Amino acid sequence: MNTRGDRATDGLHMLPFRGLRYVPERVGSLAAVTSPPYDVVVRPDGLHHLESADPYNIVRLILPQAATATARHEQAAETLDRWLAEGVLAPDPEPALYVYEQRKGGILQRGIIGALALSSPEEGIVLPHEDVMPHVVADRTDLMRTTGANLEPLLFTYRSDGPANGASAVIDRVIQERPLLATTTEDGFSHRLWSVTDPVDLAEIATDLTRQQALIADGHHRWATYLRLRDERPEPGAWSYGLVLLIDTARYPLQVRAIHRLLNRLPVADALTALDGLFRIREIDGPLPDALRALAEAADEGNAYLLAGDGRFHLVDRPDAALLARTVPADRPDAWRRLDATVLHATLLDHIWRIPDSPEEITYIHDTEAAVVQAERRGGTAVLMHPVREDVVRDLARQGVTMPRKSTSFGPKPATGLVLRSLNVD
């Protein structure tokens, strides 16, 4: 068995699969049926927008709406079965890996979508870097079990040695061909997808990936779901693999953004009063982009947060050293102890504000403006965060140290709905 600090000798094993894809003639447009990943959709506004975009939008599968969890998941399964029966979705004729490209302005990302062999963190092949919330894993597990499908690819990264060989060489060749699909979503990203079925290309990719170790960039809860469902079915088979998009960040670096916290029941005035004397507090002039620049400058010097929700912006930084020594666990690496997310959860949420990490109390929001708007609507506090560097994330993961849940948002994230994986179609 490998240790997490070493490059995994077994490496990554990715299998071709018969992708489920929308039949273009049956939908208004491919862009209209796609969605961001389930945890990026800002509910309810974003959910309603997607539902109204097209009657076959994928959000009806990843975020079904019903009175109970059981009813939601059964509804998603029924919808998937109906769309397959009606020819809205159809499996590709033969198993394939898929080259996927996203492009917007100067951002270019290419990778391979396939069914990746599952492995536990202890094996050191796939490295998680964040903790997970049990209730989210339970919900995603029941949805996946009920639908019998991987509805959206997880985002994984690895770093090659640089030269364009192996998987990179296959990608460079395949993108010269005509894609299976091409569309542009409303966020301005263009998406293209190619299938890889040639045995020589598949073998070249397979050989390359056996030398690689992956970091979970986005999808910790769904990876935990994959592992739980695999453990329910110990015999080898479709449930021993999970749908992922694998990106070589040596060639296509990802962006790393923060995930913000909305404290639903804590007014800004109360939050600031509790911090008085323990942090430096300054009111920052808006608009939001200017306040975020002030946050970035403060974050270069240490822990810093931007609080919003009362129509103003409040920069909170320079925590009391004795407070940190008393509240932040000392049994972790210094890099972990200095993380903004660590100090937020250990010091602010647990010790000062005494807010439990539950869905009723804390909402995790990727979009900065949405976090501020929701805080103002609810009379709560938005805690805006500064992103962590990718090298810090990877180094901690290789040490086997997980960051607080929802510490990072890697992107661009794959669009959901371009290719699905049925666990009943081989």
In tens, the pLDDT along 208-266 reads 999 999 999 999 999 999 999 999 998 889 999 999 999 999 999 888 889 999 999 99
Largest Cα span, the chain: 66
Q: What is the pLDDT of residue 46?
A: 73
Q: What is the pLDDT of residue 8?
A: 40
Q: What is the pLDDT of residue 360?
A: 93
Q: What is the pLDDT of residue 7?
A: 38
- Spell out a b/e string for 199-214, using b for 16 or more CB atoms within 10 Å of the CB, else e: eebbebbbebbeebbb
Contact 307, 313 (CB under 8 A): yes
**Which region holds residue 148: left if phi is over 0, alpha if psi is between -120 and 50, else beta?**
left
Q: What is the dihedral of CA 348, 278, 269, 292, to 10 degrees?
A: -70
Contact 58, 35 (CB under 8 A): yes
Burial label for 149, CB within 10 Å (0-12, 13-18, 19+), is: buried
Q: What is the pLDDT of residue 407?
A: 85
Query: What are the average pLDDT values for consecutive 10-residue runs of the chain, which has 426 residues?
Result: 42 97 92 89 70 87 93 97 97 97 95 96 90 91 97 94 84 96 94 97 96 92 96 92 96 90 98 97 95 96 97 97 96 93 96 94 93 96 93 87 85 94 82
CA 194 to CA 199: how far, in whole Å? 15
CA 380 to CA 307: how far, in whole Å? 10
- Confidence (pTM): 0.83
DSSP string, 353-403: S----STTTEEEES-HHHHHHHHHHHT-EEEE-PPPPHHHHHHHHHTTPPB
Q: What is the pLDDT of residue 4?
A: 35
- Sign for the CA dihedral angle at 330, 336, 339, 345 comes to negative
In tens, the pLDDT along 117-173 reads 999 988 989 999 888 889 999 999 999 999 999 999 999 999 887 667 799 999 999
β-bridge mates for residue 383, sequence order: 261, 307
Tokens describing residue 339: 């993380």
DSSP string, 254-297: PEEE--EEEETT--HHHHHHHHBTTBEEEEE-SSHHHHHHHHHH
The radius of gyration of the chain's CA atoms, rounded to the nearest angstrom, is 22
Cis amide bond preceding 64, omega within 30: no
DSSP string, 35-52: B--TTTS-TTHHHHHHHH
CA 184 to CA 29: how far, in whole Å? 10
Strands 107-117 and 97-104: antiparallel
Which position has the token pair 């609810």?
A: 378
CA 109 to CA 99: how far, in whole Å? 11
Q: What is the pLDDT of residue 3?
A: 35
